[in-house]
Amino acid sequence: MKFFGKKSLRHLFSHDIGIDLGTANTIVYLRGRGIVINEPSVVAVNQKTGQVVAIGTEARAMLGRTPSHILAIKPLVDGVISDFEITEEMISYLLGRATSGSNKILSPRVVVGVPSGITNVEIRAVRDATRNAGAGEVHIVEEPMAAAIGMRLPIHEPVGNMVIDIGGGTSDIAIISLGGVVRSKNLRVAGDKFNSDIIAYVRNQFKVLLGEKTAELVKMSIGSVLPTHAPLEMTVKGRDLVNGLPKEIVITDTDIRDALSQSVESLVETVREVLESTPPEILSDIMHRGVYLSGGGALVKGLRELIESEINVPVHVDADPLTAVARGTGIILEDLESFRDVLIENESELPPKK
């Protein structure tokens, strides 16, 4: 006993696991190993038996292609838990897979990242789902806080840190100082909305209906919110809305810029609102230190530069924005005691959300 601190002793018998329960991707961090699972947040369920038949990449491949009795669902739509039982099944599967082949005897200690717009009832649901799925201890952290920790920002210091996490369903904007969120806002404008903007634009301008995956591919390949050096274009297939038959069209980066302009504007507007309500000392820290972008949406070409010029503050994109939250849960696991203050241990601590 003398040779082990309490921390390291527990480590011998139990797993510590961090989960980023994203609307688009679920990432699992295993202490001592790093990221062990990175899969789309999709679950396929057999409606006849109620059983989960596939999860992640395999389930996503089924989206839009299932026979009538199999349902492929995204359990976390717009950052909220739309289906409690399925979420529980998913967490249970993740815990099982992350710890498979291990002989550790205690149930895992789990840190779960949740979107900042989530209600107390939903936090309680995540906590219960994780506990039912076999976790020994459950700790909840808000995703922008986890992203800030994952990006190694000095969140405990008396200095303002600003994070914009642009995920699939929601974008979280948060200002953090002394281990707490000073100001935050979240909006349902993120990667999924960009995809639906592209679908709506192509339907109006070309009278062609694109699939969701095609729209996402277009966004990633030629989407840019600022003019590019050389024009970009891409040939895509969709359904001609006039005669119902397949049709090929050529889309350019200018089309995508038009398609995304309103969403990008509302994102920038919300960032401005957060800055406008931030106390002056913290604002001065942020002007000096800059704003940090995480989440897959941060990879949209030109977005960093555009936000920078709109708010007149330096903007940085994390080197691996998709894993910032998961890395943050991992850093918390390494030293739970030092991060007690950032964890939501009791739902009643949270102010009611609008």
Binding residues vs ligand ADP (CB under 6 A): 22-25, 167-169, 191-192, 216, 219-220, 295-297, 299-300, 322
Provide, rounded to whole angstroms, the least separation between the CB of residue 59 and ligand ADP.
15
Q: What does 172 interact with, of ligand ADP, Mg ion, none (CB < 5 to 8 A by kind)?
A: none
299 is an annotated ligand-binding site residue: yes
Provide, rounded to whole angstroms, the least separation between the CB of residue 297 and ligand ADP.
5
Provide, rounded to whole angstroms, the least separation between the CB of residue 6 and Mg ion.
32
Query: Residue 345: what are its φ and ψ, rounded to 5°?
Result: -90, -15
260/123 Cα distance (integer angstroms): 32
218 is an annotated ligand-binding site residue: yes
Single-letter code of the amino acid located at 166: I
Binding residue for Mg ion, selected from 22, 169, 238, 330, defined by CB under 5 A: 22
What 3-state DSSP class applies to 243?
coil
Locus of tokens 């069209």: 249
With beta carbons less than 8 A apart as the criterion, state whether 160 and 177 touch: yes
Q: What does 18 interact with, of ligand ADP, Mg ion, none (CB < 5 to 8 A by kind)?
A: none
Binding residue for Mg ion, selected from 144, 167, 223, 321, defined by CB under 5 A: 167
Query: Residue 88: what are its φ and ψ, rounded to 5°?
Result: -65, -45
228 is an annotated ligand-binding site residue: no
Nearer to ligand ADP by C-beta: 298 or 313? 298
Beta strands 171-177; 180-187: pairing state: antiparallel
Q: Which residues contact 65 (CB under 8 A, 6 or more apart)?
A: none
Helices (H), 136-279: 143-150, 191-206, 212-222, 253-276
259 is an annotated ligand-binding site residue: no
Provide, rounded to whole angstroms, the least separation between the CB of residue 244 and ligand ADP.
28
Q: What does 192 interact with, of ligand ADP, Mg ion, none (CB < 5 to 8 A by kind)?
A: ligand ADP
Nearer to ligand ADP by C-beta: 75 or 167? 167
Nearer to ligand ADP by C-beta: 39 or 285? 39
Helices (H), the chain: 6-13, 57-60, 84-98, 120-132, 143-150, 191-206, 212-222, 253-276, 280-289, 303-311, 324-334
24 is an annotated ligand-binding site residue: yes
What 3-state DSSP class applies to 323?
helix
Q: What does 23 interact with, of Mg ion, ligand ADP, none (CB < 5 to 8 A by kind)?
A: ligand ADP
**Binding positions for ATP:** 23-25, 168-170, 216-219, 296-299
**Binding positions:** 23-25, 168-170, 216-219, 296-299
